C-alpha cells in the first residue's frame, strides 16, 4: 500500500484538519503564509523574465545574448549562495527572522532594478547586480520548504508540497501575465521627476513585485507561528514567539539519513531546474530569431505562453495529488523526465525552410512595432546575420514551439513537486533547514549554469546543438534515476517506523 495518499484535509485554500483546535488552525494559517511567500518568490522572478532582454538592449547597446545569460543566471547565483545560509539560520532561530530579512532584500533589489537606467555608464552591470540581490532575497525558498516539511505529517506532505508548487506555478502565471498586461504602458511610459523614476513596461513589473514583497513582510510578522509535527501527524511543539526569543530545534528522531539518496535527489533537482532555466532563457531570443517578432511582441506573446504553461501546471498539480496516491512519487518523477525529453526532442530544427535573416544593410527587413507610428525608427526583425548558424540552420516552426511548451509544461511541474516531496520524506523528522538550503542551492546552481550554457551555445552554434545537449542530459538523468530508484524512500520506511 502506498504511503502517499491524497489528503482531503489539505486543500490549497482550506488547510485545517478535521481534528480542529487552535494549534491546528494556527498551523495551517502559517502554512498558507508559506504558500503565499513561495507564490511571491516566483512572481519576483517571472514578472520580468520576458522583458529582461529588450530592457537590457534598450539601456545598454553593448549587451549581447551572452551577457543576457549572465543576467538571468545572476538571480540564481544569488539564491544559491543565500539558501544554505538562510536554511542554517532557520534551524537555530525563529523562521520569521530570515524570512523578513530576505524579503526586505528582495524589495530593495526590485527597486534597484527599476533604477538601472539612471547611471551614466555600466548600466548592464547594474542590472546584473540588481538581479543578483533579487536572487539573494529568494534564498528564503529553503526556509519555506523546510517549514512546510516540518509542519506536515508524512500523509499530508505530498498534498502540501503540491499546493505549494501550485502557488509557485500561479506566481509563474501571474508574473508573465502581469508583464504582458503592463506592456500597454509602452517603452516611453511616464517620468516621475520628483524621484527620478521612469515607469514603463520594463520597470513597472519590478515596482509591483516590490509592493507585493511589503505585503509579504506584514503577513510573516503578523500571522506566522512555529509548528513541528512528526511523520504520524502528532504536534511536537507549537510556539507563539516574539522575534527576540531563542527557539530550540525540534526533537530529532533516531536513525541516520541516507546520504546517497540525498545526493541523488540533489543531482536530479539540479538537472530539472537546469532544463527549465534553459527553456526560460531561450524563449525570448529564440522566438525573435525564428518568428521575426519585435521586442514588444516577444514580451507579450511569451508572457502569454508562460502564463498558459502556468495554468497547465496547476492542472498538473491537481492530477499529481490524485495519481501519487495510487502509483507513488517515484513513477511520477520518472514520467515527468520522459515528458521533458520528448518536449526538447521536438524542438530540434529540421526541414528545408530557414529563418528570416536580419541583414544590417537591407532596409526592408525592418518592421514597425504595433504601437509605433510611421515617423518613428524601425526595428530590425529576424535572425541576426552575425549568428552564422542562422544561414544554414532550418527554422523552428511555431507549431513545434507550442507543442514543446505543452509537453514541458506537463513534465517540469511533475518533476519539480515530486523531487522535493521525495527529498523531504528522505530527510524525515530531522531538522531540514540546511538540507533544504542545499537542495535550493543545487537548483539555483542549475539556474546559474543553465542560462550561461544556453546563451553561449545558442549564440555560437544555434538551437540544434543546444537542444541535442539538453536531450542528452535528460536521458542521463532518466538512467540515473532508474539506477537509484530503490533508495529514494521515506526515512520512516527505511527505519521501519511505518510499513510501505
Over residues 478-487, the pLDDT tens digits come to 999 999 988 8
The yes-or-no verdict on residue 181 having pLDDT over 90 is no
Q: What is the pLDDT of residue 432?
A: 65
Phi and psi torsions of 446, nearest 5°: -65, -40
How high is the pLDDT of residue 103? 93
**Cell of residue 29, nine digits:** 494559517
Beta pairing partners, 190: 199
Q: Answer whether 274's CB lies under 8 Å from 449's CB.
A: yes
Instruction: Please state, in angstroms and rounded to a whole number, the distance separating the CA atoms of residues 262 and 268.
Output: 10
How do strand 357-358 and strand 383-384 relate by DSSP bridges? parallel
Lowest mean pLDDT among 60-69, 374-383, 458-467: 374-383
Considering only 58-62, 223-227, 369-373, 439-443, which range has the smallest mean pLDDT? 369-373
Instruction: Reduce the DSSP state of residue 171 to 3 states and report it.
Output: helix
Among 28-32, 245-249, 332-336, the least confident range: 245-249
**Nearest CA among 487, 481, 486, 475 for reference residue 334:** 481
Average pLDDT over residues 180-209: 83
Query: Quick check: 17 pLDDT over 60?
Result: no
- Separation in Å, CA 351 to CA 291, 397, 464: 16, 10, 12
The span from the CA of 350 to the CA of 471, in Å, is 16
pLDDT at 8: 39
Q: 3-state DSSP helix/strand/coil percent for the chain, to nearest 5? A: 70, 5, 25
Total residues found in the chain within this entry: 500
Mean pLDDT of 63-81: 80
Q: What residues are paired with 358 via a beta bridge?
A: 384
For residues 259 and 70, give the distance between their C-alpha atoms in angstroms, rounded to a whole number: 32
Which residues fall within 8 angstroms of residue 372, CB to CB, at 6 or more apart?
Answer: 379
Please check whether residue 480 is in contact with residue 268, taking contact to mean a CB–CB distance below 8 angstroms.
yes
Give counts: helices (H), strands (E), the chain. 15, 8
Predicted confidence at residue 7, as pLDDT, reads 42
pLDDT at residue 146, as a whole number: 83
* 2 confidence band (pLDDT: 50, 70, 90): very low
Inter-residue contact 317 to 169 (CB < 8 Å): yes
Which range has the worst mean pLDDT, 88-97, 333-342, 394-403?
88-97
Q: What is the grid cell recorded at 135?
A: 536572487
Report d(CA 77, CA 447) in Å as an integer.
8
CA distances from 144 to 44, 239, 373 (A): 15, 17, 48
Domain 22-362+382-494: state its class.
Answer: mainly alpha
Amino acid at each position: 500500500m502506498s504511503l502517499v495518499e491524497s489528503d482531503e484535509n489539505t486543500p490549497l485554500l482550506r488547510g485545517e484538519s478535521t481534528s480542529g483546535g487552535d494549534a491546528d488552525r494556527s498551523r495551517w494559517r502559517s502554512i498558507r503564509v508559506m504558500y503565499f511567500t513561495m507564490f511571491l518568490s516566483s512572481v519576483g522572478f517571472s514578472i520580468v523574465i520576458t522583458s529582461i532582454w529588450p530592457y537590457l538592449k534598450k539601456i545598454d547597446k553593448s549587451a549581447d545574448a551572452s551577457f543576457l545569460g549572465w543576467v538571468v543566471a545572476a538571480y540564481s547565483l544569488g539564491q544559491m549562495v543565500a539558501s544554505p545560509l538562510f536554511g542554517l539560520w532557520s534551524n537555530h532561530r525563529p523562521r520569521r527572522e530570515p524570512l523578513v530579512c530576505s524579503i526586505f532584500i528582495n524589495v530593495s533589489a526590485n527597486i534597484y532594478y527599476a533604477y538601472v537606467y539612471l547611471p551614466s555608464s555600466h548600466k548592464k552591470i547594474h542590472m546584473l547586480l540588481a538581479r543578483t540581490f533579487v536572487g539573494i532575497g529568494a534564498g528564503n525558498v529553503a526556509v519555506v520548504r523546510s517549514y512546510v516539511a516540518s509542519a506536515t505529517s508524512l500523509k499530508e506532505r505530498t498534498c502540501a508540497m503540491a499546493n505549494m508548487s501550485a502557488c509557485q506555478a500561479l506566481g509563474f502565471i501571474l508574473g508573465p501575465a502581469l508583464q504582458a498586461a503592463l506592456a500597454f504602458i509602452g517603452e516611453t511610459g511616464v517620468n516621475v521627476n520628483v524621484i527620478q523614476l521612469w515607469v514603463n513596461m520594463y520597470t513597472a513589473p519590478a515596482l509591483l513585485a516590490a509592493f507585493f514583497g511589503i505585503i509579504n513582510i506584514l503577513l510573516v510578522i503578523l500571522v506566522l507561528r512555529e509548528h513541528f509535527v512528526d511523520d504520524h501527524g502528532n504536534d511536537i511543539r507549537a510556539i507563539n514567539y516574539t522575534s527576540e526569543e531563542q527557539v530550540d530545534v525540534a526533537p530529532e528522531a533516531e536513525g541516520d539519513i541516507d546520504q546517497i539518496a540525498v545526493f541523488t535527489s540533489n543531482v536530479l533537482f539540479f538537472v530539472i531546474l537546469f532544463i527549465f532555466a534553459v527553456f526560460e532563457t531561450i524563449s525570448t531570443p529564440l522566438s525573435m530569431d525564428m518568428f521575426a517578432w519585435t521586442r514588444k511582441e516577444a514580451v507579450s506573446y511569451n508572457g502569454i505562453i508562460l502564463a498558459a504553461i502556468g495554468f497547465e501546471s496547476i492542472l498538473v498539480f491537481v492530477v499529481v495529488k490524485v495519481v501519487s496516491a495510487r502509483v507513488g512519487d517515484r513513477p511520477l518523477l520518472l514520467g515527468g523526465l520522459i515528458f521533458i525529453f520528448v518536449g526538447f526532442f521536438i524542438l530540434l530544427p529540421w526541414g528545408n525552410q530557414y529563418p528570416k535573416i536580419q541583414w544590417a544593410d537591407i532596409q526592408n527587413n525592418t518592421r514597425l512595432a504595433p504601437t509605433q507610428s510611421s515617423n518613428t525608427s524601425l526595428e530590425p526583425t529576424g535572425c541576426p546575420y552575425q549568428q552564422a548558424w542562422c544561414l544554414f540552420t532550418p527554422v523552428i516552426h511555431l507549431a513545434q514551439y507550442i507543442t514543446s511548451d505543452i509537453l514541458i509544461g506537463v513534465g517540469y511541474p511533475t518533476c519539480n513537486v515530486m523531487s522535493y516531496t521525495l527529498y523531504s520524506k528522505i530527510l524525515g523528522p530531522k531538522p531540514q533547514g540546511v538540507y533544504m538550503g542545499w537542495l535550493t542551492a543545487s537548483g539555483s546552481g542549475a539556474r546559474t549554469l543553465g542560462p550561461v550554457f544556453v546563451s553561449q551555445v545558442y549564440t555560437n552554434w544555434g538551437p540544434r546543438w543546444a537542444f541535442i545537449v539538453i536531450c542528452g542530459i535528460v536521458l542521463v538523468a532518466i538512467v540515473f534515476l532508474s539506477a537509484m530508484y530503490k533508495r529514494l524512500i521515506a526515512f520512516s520506511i527505511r527505519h521501519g517506523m511505518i510499513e510501505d
